Homo-oligomer: A and B are copies of this chain.
Amino acid sequence: MITLTEENYIKTIYQLGKYGTLTVSTNSIAEAIETKASSVTDMVKKLAEKGYVNYKRYQGATLTAKGKKIAADVVRKHRLWEVFLVEKLNFSWDEVHEIAEQLEHIKSEKLINELDKLLDYPTHDPHGDPIPDKSGDIKKSDKVLLFSLAENAKGVCVGVKDTSSAFLKYLDKHKIALGSEISVVSREDFDDSMVIKINGTEMSISQTVANNLFVIEE
């Protein structure tokens, strides 16, 4: 059996190491988890014994295949729950993280598969981050800032960079939501604003807005 604490360490190593590909220092884990480096050393040793990480003294840790699977599962659950909270329970994009931190540890394969189905198999969470599939694979995120799209390019809105409630209110007001299709009608060199088409209507948005909206280009 794996404990909740162990799961959190494994998840942290996964995320700090770019989905488990890089070596992660004990200090950076300590910072992320808000604990002391000495505690991390102890835990990483234990995780190495259990076969979840590779570890050599003073050399940092990487995840084993077994560790990556655990981590991808936790991240998958976290992000699916975030989508659920936003789509079904009227949460805004900046309120969901804390609760998803709790929900990600609920153990039930059927639960998570049914949740996935209820949400219609989303590929990204409300912050635009990709959701690992059942086998832990990640559709490499090509999420980019709306600002980086060329004229006539199209994209689907997958998240926000600025999660302030002021910005979220602005988006609500203009009916820009997760999943909205946006196309760039024209760009204005003068002030870097752009005209976009969304839900069939055109509107002008400032550079600030365009630099805080993530889209996946199509």
Contact = CB atoms under 8 A, between A and B. Distances in A.
Interface of A: 85, 88-91, 95, 98-99, 102-103, 105-108, 110-111, 114-115, 118
Contacts of A95: 110
A85 B107 CA distance: 14
Contact of A106 (B88, B90, B102, B114): B102
A118 B89 contact: yes
A114 B90 contact: yes
B114 A89 contact: yes
11 contacts: A88-B118, A89-B118, A90-B114, A91-B110, A91-B114, A98-B108, A99-B108, A99-B111, A102-B106, A102-B107, A103-B106
Contacts of A88: 118
A87 to B, nearest CB: 11
